Structure 1
Amino acid sequence: MSLRLGSTVLLTLVLLLALPAVASAQNGDGGGDRLTGADFASSPVIAPNGIAATSQPLASQVAVDVLKQGGSAVDAAIAANAVLGLVEPTGNGIGGDLYAIVYDPETDDVYGLNASGRSPQSLSYEELQDELGDSDQIPLVGALPVSVPGTVSGWEMLHERFGERSMADNLAPAIQYAREGFPLSQVIAYYWERNIQAFEYYEEQGTLTDNNWRETYLIEGEDGEMRAPREGEMFRNPDLANTLELIAENGADAFYEGEIAQTIDRYMERVGGYLTAEDLADHTSDWVQPESVTYRGVEVFELPPNGQGIAALQMLQILEAYDIADMGHNSTDYLHVQTEAKKLVFEDRARFYADMDFADVPIEELLSEEYAAKRRSLIEMDGVLSEPSHGDPRAVVSDRLEEGDTIYLTVADESGMMVSLIQSNYAGMGSGLVPDGLGFMLQDRGALFTMEKGHPNVYEPGKRPFHTIIPAFAKKNGEPWLSFGVMGGAMQPQGHVQIICNMVDFGMNVQEAGDAARYRHRGSTSPTGEAMDGRGTLHLESGVSQNVVNALRGRGHAVEVDAGGYGGYQAIMWDPEEDVYWGGTEMRKDGTVAGY
């Protein structure tokens, strides 16, 4: 998301990732020394039969339990996602959307799923503009940013195609934890408190008028005051347990046509919202063909818009012409070309990425080598791009988005199936709206539309907004190789590219690739209408040497060294020679890898 005046500034600030990152000994002389395993304290998890990497230990263990009980990687991913919606509501839940990439060993093919929801049919552009008044930004709380939640339909489509166990069995662990309780882990407790502070502020401002969120997400402290649960404290959500039981018994119909849909409809009418039972009943998720480019022999897959996945592919197309390995990891030249490529690609992202049912997105041209060469020619090694424009891909070939709270998980099973899944409510816990007695919050993804008429991502009824959440997958030598993701708003394409470069160009293993110090450039033009102001800001973790920081500043970059905002990583790599999986997890989060 981008910084805005007033209340949005507060929400952005309290939701920023502000957690310490472990500094690594790298690039200390500014010359780009190659990393070795000795530079890191953490190591990969290696397992022969099945493996799961998620952002919360209980969810990883549940996924492995499902695999041991004969479930497929998809069954395990659904079970883990359901648990994460309970234990990490700061990043996801069944009130949000889902995307997935599945590698199926039976067909040796990669499948994409877009389970994102659409805007309400009853809210026209003109009515929304009247609601906004003088503002040109859709708010992050309340009824206006609420779009149809796609997650449950995504579960059903994945399960129908690749599931081996019943949905009831897959949801049973989450239901049990919801009823009996679970202890909060450290990072999630931190964000839980920050979200509650934001909602309390919006209540005081009169922006958030319904307080169901208090009953669902607060506990009673020793002094009798209601507050956010803290690290190590047990938390229960019996309402969510009841909701998941309805889904377990009656499938997605319970959510989109049955009792849950009717409850959402009544609730939205009560709070003055626009999402209706008809919108829920009309929802469909879609199997989509993943897009791919080949980077130094590795085929990298991302999903097409309305998401931002192809931004990572565009960046890789630009970067392939450089000798990245010779530059050295996190060297001045490396970080310079990465940042400049990001700036160029994000201008295209702002101009072209949108719901392809409503907009003609020139994907083939955007991903072409000819267009990458044209854009690459704008990069100078001794200068910095300031306010670059988007390109004209067809001519060549013929941050509200800055922060998002998301979970990413990946699971692989004994058959060779690999699942790359991402799920989110967008900013923080979501809109602040919790339908009566359901135990989950509705997403605020609709805030990612623009109100600029004529823009591909302009608000329209029944339209999917631009999306930040993107799963990724890669093949090497034609075989499945890496299922991975780096969650975190606009960080995600930048993070995907860094992981691929770390492993392909610098030979890091799956854990080293995530532990290595990251960069993140902020300030590009966004699909919601915010324009780039100057050169933006290049944020670096402390593992980047001070010599490199100074050199980048001398080259013209506005550099800040800080500890937050670099996303959350999970990955599984397949080793065909030894027939084992290697798993990596995010040291900046609560996540773990579990295997057997």
Structure 2
Amino acid sequence: MGISVTGSRAMITSPHHLASMAGAQTLQRGGNAFDAAIAISACLGVVYPHMTGLGGDSFWMTYSASEGRVRVYNATGRAGYSVNRMLYDGEGSIPSRGVRSAITVPGMVDGWAAIAEGYGRLPWGELFEPAIAYAEQGFPLSADQHANTALNWAMLKASAATSRIYAPGNEAAQAGSRFVQRDMAGTLKLIAERGREVFYQGELAKRITEHIERAGGYLTFEDFASHTGYWTEPLKGTYRGHEICQAPPNSQGFAAILALQQLERFSLQHIEHGSFEYYHLLVESLKLAFRDRNEVLTDPEFASIPLDKLLSPEYAAELAARIDMRQAGALASAAMGGDTAYAAVVDDEGNAVSFIQSLYFEFGSGEVAGDTGVLLQNRGSFFSLDPKHPNRLEPGKRTFHTLMPAMALRDGKPAILYGTQGGEGQPQTQTAILTRMIDYGMNPQNAIEQPRFVWGRTWGEASQALRLESRIDPAVVKRLGEAGHDVRVVGSFDQAMGHAGAIRMTDEGFLQGGTDPRSDGAAIGW
């Protein structure tokens, strides 16, 4: 169990304590929240390499105190321009592992550059010093990395470049053993010295894409050279006096707004937290949100998404009226990966960054790009091969993305920063955490530690079950089953629930931080 952290000047939360420390050190050296966020992000790619890294994507939700506005940077990659459905002719789906699943350009490094150029203060190279040190000198391998290595042992051994780093012996390295990534250290040094361009148009792009070609993959140097992310405006909804900000499509963030705006039609203050009614209502509102998400979400450059209708109060009321408080509704969900890292920072100037990054499945594609140490994401494997599906694979397209950093505003300023790992579970855990803080007055740590649930398919599993942590009252579990939910009781702090984090600004001007006991993280404030 964690300890609620309170400060008045700055706050950091991340799923690994070494990354949180990297952010704190950056602030103490004179950096701002944007500098600290980059340092945390780079460090997570080293100390949580099974979750995130240079070969993955990210979304960044930023608040600049001097500008007084929230912006979102979409650092997600497009499918290669020669990648099309015919490459998988005769296959039911895109492979979820291997180099043929690595078909979208990694957006991470571009995201770092955009944040640094837009709002950073410290010299670019300084931001990578903690990550380089941990890659070069090693760090204690986390329990989470050990467990995921053991689980994916056969997949990691299938690639020589991957096996050399992540599965070099006859069994998974033990938690606490020194884990060194010298190839990654060299790659980070090049980025620190030469900037973004070395990854997309220079030496690293050449080495990565040459490996992909040798291994039988499809991304090219030209795909890397033409990549860029973009700044955009957040989607906004309302919940009990708060303005809820989410990343727009290709992110699934609007699903969380849709669920909250349904819940706003119910008096949660008259519903006991942890009761049958509480869990049932949250699950049913989220299932209705997922139904619409599944029908429309893809790259908005390739399809029209009716967000004005979906996020309108009238539509929320219409959906809320469909919820039967006695019986579970039926809905299918698509299988999604969920290994991700969420972090957040607030500095003493009032700047705030809520960001999330991922390789998609744990260890992504399982393919390390030669001697670069870069583990390539398999995010593109979520594209559909059905030519009629809105998220069908097309050259140059961004896929439906589970990543969704969030921020709730009061009077135009950040009040809560929150997010979580977990694919299909991200909107669910976000909704639970936010209602616990707003409706039930919990601090971030308490909200995160309360028993959680996740419905539907996640981490590639086929089950449509409602997973409930064993700490939930057995009488509540029984009633949920009687109401038609396909209940599965899981561990007391089960990894299927993901790793959440949150920062809250209180009315008294204090900062409260929380991190997930299911992770290796830490909240640091002062």
Which category of TM-score, normalised to the shorter sequence, fits these structures? Answer: over 0.9
Q: What residue is the counterpart of 1:592 in the other structure?
A: 522
Q: What residue is the counterpart of 1:469 in the other structure?
A: 403
What secondary structure sits across from 1:89 in the alignment?
Answer: coil
**Is residue 217 from structure 1 mapped to residue 147 from structure 2 by the alignment?**
no
Gaps in structure 2 of 5+ consecutive residues: none
- Residue 482 of structure 2 aligns with an amino acid whose one-letter code is G
Computing the radius of gyration over CA atoms, which structure comes out larger, 1 or 2?
1
- Residue 229 of structure 2 aligns with an amino acid whose one-letter code is S
**Is residue 572 from structure 1 mapped to residue 506 from structure 2 by the alignment?**
no
Q: Which of 34, 51, 69 is matched with 1:74 structurally?
A: 34
Residues of 2 paired with 1:129 and 1:377: CA distance?
43
Residues of 1 paired with 2:150 and 2:360: CA distance?
17
Alpha-carbon offset, residue 213 of structure 1: 0.2
1:188/1:590 contact within 8 Å kept: no
Q: What residue is the counterpart of 2:354 in the other structure?
A: 420
Alpha-carbon offset, residue 523 of structure 1: 4.7
Relative distance call for 1:75 and 1:361 in structure 2 (3 A) is same
Relative distance call for 1:576 and 1:387 in structure 2 (3 A) is closer
Alpha-carbon offset, residue 461 of structure 1: 0.6
Aligned residue pair count: 522
Q: What residue is the counterpart of 2:117 in the other structure?
A: 160
Alpha-carbon offset, residue 193 of structure 1: 2.5
**Is residue 557 from structure 1 mapped to residue 485 from structure 2 by the alignment?**
yes
1:519/1:538 contact within 8 Å kept: yes
1:255-274 matched pairs, under 5 angstroms: 255-274=199-218
1:299/1:476 contact within 8 Å kept: yes
Alpha-carbon offset, residue 400 of structure 1: 2.7
**Is residue 241 from structure 1 mapped to residue 185 from structure 2 by the alignment?**
yes
- Residue 67 of structure 1 aligns with an amino acid whose one-letter code is L
**Is residue 46 from structure 1 mapped to residue 6 from structure 2 by the alignment?**
yes
TM-score by length of 1: 0.85
Alpha-carbon offset, residue 481 of structure 1: 0.7
Alpha-carbon offset, residue 103 of structure 1: 1.0
Relative distance call for 1:477 and 1:43 in structure 2 (3 A) is farther
**Is residue 148 from structure 1 mapped to residue 148 from structure 2 by the alignment?**
no
Alpha-carbon offset, residue 576 of structure 1: 4.9
Alpha-carbon offset, residue 480 of structure 1: 1.6
Gaps in structure 1 of 5+ consecutive residues: 1-40, 204-209, 220-224, 390-398
**Is residue 282 from structure 1 mapped to residue 210 from structure 2 by the alignment?**
no
1:144/1:446 contact within 8 Å kept: no
What secondary structure sits across from 1:112 in the alignment?
Answer: strand
- Residue 246 of structure 1 aligns with an amino acid whose one-letter code is L
Residues of 1 paired with 2:144 and 2:216: CA distance?
34
- Residue 438 of structure 1 aligns with an amino acid whose one-letter code is T
Residues of 2 paired with 1:229 and 1:594: CA distance?
29
Q: What residue is the counterpart of 1:396 in the other structure?
A: none
Residues of 2 paired with 1:227 and 1:239: CA distance?
21
Residues of 2 paired with 1:166 and 1:509: CA distance?
35
Alpha-carbon offset, residue 48 of structure 1: 2.4
TM-score by length of 2: 0.96
- Residue 161 of structure 2 aligns with an amino acid whose one-letter code is N
Q: Mean Cα displacement is larger for which, 365-374 or 491-500?
A: 365-374
**Is residue 499 from structure 1 mapped to residue 433 from structure 2 by the alignment?**
yes
What secondary structure sits across from 1:144 in the alignment?
Answer: helix
- Residue 121 of structure 2 aligns with an amino acid whose one-letter code is E
Q: What residue is the counterpart of 1:9 in the other structure?
A: none
Residues of 2 paired with 1:85 and 1:388: CA distance?
33
Q: What residue is the counterpart of 2:383 in the other structure?
A: 449
Alpha-carbon offset, residue 426 of structure 1: 0.3
2:419/2:430 contact within 8 Å kept: yes
Residues of 2 paired with 1:413 and 1:341: CA distance?
35
What secondary structure sits across from 2:219 in the alignment?
Answer: coil
1:89-238 matched pairs, under 5 angstroms: 89-126=49-86, 128-130=87-89, 133=90, 135-146=91-102, 147-200=104-157, 203=158, 210-219=159-168, 225-238=169-182
2:61/2:407 contact within 8 Å kept: yes
What secondary structure sits across from 1:343 in the alignment?
Answer: helix
Residues of 2 paired with 1:295 and 1:168: CA distance?
41
What secondary structure sits across from 2:287 in the alignment?
Answer: helix
- Residue 379 of structure 2 aligns with an amino acid whose one-letter code is R
Alpha-carbon offset, residue 384 of structure 1: 2.0
Residues of 1 paired with 2:487 and 2:332: CA distance?
18
1:90/1:195 contact within 8 Å kept: no
Alpha-carbon offset, residue 170 of structure 1: 0.2
